[in-house]
Amino acid sequence: MQETVGTGEQRAAGAAPADGGRVHEGVWVSAPYRESAADAQALILVDAQSAFLTGSHAVPDAAGLTLRLAALLERARAAGAVVVHLRNDGEPGAVDEPGSPGWELLLPVRESDREHVVRKDEDDGFAGTGLAELLRGRGVGRVVIAGVLSEMCVSATAAGAVERGFAVVLPHDTHATYGLDDIPAPVVSRVAEHALGDDPELVRSADRVGFTAPSGGVPG
């Protein structure tokens, strides 16, 4: 990532420039989140499975995250956008092992030509799944990515989307993870965002994210 240096006034005030972050006294100062983003033609929900959103293995604020994911899902459906539910196939004995209660998707699925479940066994939801072809075949160029875990499957899927030429919108309040040793979960999530670089559009709130139907149309 190339460091972006602001004006003298910004440097003196310790503020990050509008189009990127910078180093200030040994600390990276991030640019502000975008207030909004252009409408996306698809929503990718990453591993919104019972193992991570309910019970003893749930991420922090799982109930709040689930409500925000559900609201995002309903807005995508109402706009006629493509919806993809990624479901991770965990290793034998894992909390998300196929067929186990934790493997089940927590949010209801309405499978159709515009709503799909895609199983995966790697962090990147595009790796070996045909997800890119599914999206391109439906005229999708911009996607919203949300779910769990921030620094693993969410991050890898966002990077995979960018690598394959999709524009990516990542709402800050609709992805989450666990704490890491003595590092709080929100810090882990924020660092995961930063590690993605400047390509994904980071938006503070999913309330400011919009959807539209693909221009080519999707059968209903």
Residues 212, 205: Cα–Cα separation, whole Å? 18
Environment class of 185 (CB within 10 Å of its CB; exposed 0-12, middle 13-18, buried 19+): middle
Q: pLDDT band at residue 215, thresholds of 50, 70 and 90? A: confident
Distances (CA, A) of 120 to 43, 73, 80: 17, 20, 25
Give the model confidence (pLDDT) of 178-196 as tens digits. 999 999 999 999 999 989 9
Looking at residue 16, its pLDDT comes to 38
Report the share of the chain in percent with pLDDT over 70: 83
Q: What is the pLDDT, as a whole number, of residue 37? A: 87
Task: State pLDDT tens for residues 4-58.
Answer: 333 333 333 334 344 556 665 666 566 667 778 889 999 999 999 999 999 999 9
- Do the Cβ atoms of 47 and 87 come closer than 8 Å? yes
More confident residue, 24 or 61: 61
Per-residue model confidence (pLDDT) at position 9: 35
What's the pLDDT at 27? Answer: 63
For residue 170, give the 3-state DSSP assignment.
Answer: strand
| pTM for this entry | 0.86
What are the residue numbers of the active site? 153
Weakest mean pLDDT among 5-9, 142-146, 210-214: 5-9
Start-end of H helices in 17-144: 50-53, 62-79, 131-137
Average pLDDT, the chain: 88
**pLDDT of 73 over the 50 cut:** yes
Judged against a pLDDT cut of 80, whether residue 144 lies above it is answered with yes
Rounded average pLDDT over 208-217: 88
Per-residue pLDDT, averaged over 102-110, amounts to: 97
**Number of residues that make up the chain:** 220
Distance in angstroms between the alpha carbons of the first and the last residue of the chain: 41
Model pLDDT for residues 91-104, shown as the tens digit of each residue? 999 999 999 999 99
**How many CB atoms are located within 10 Å of the residue 146 CB?**
25
> With pLDDT > 90 as the criterion, what percentage of the chain qualifies?
77
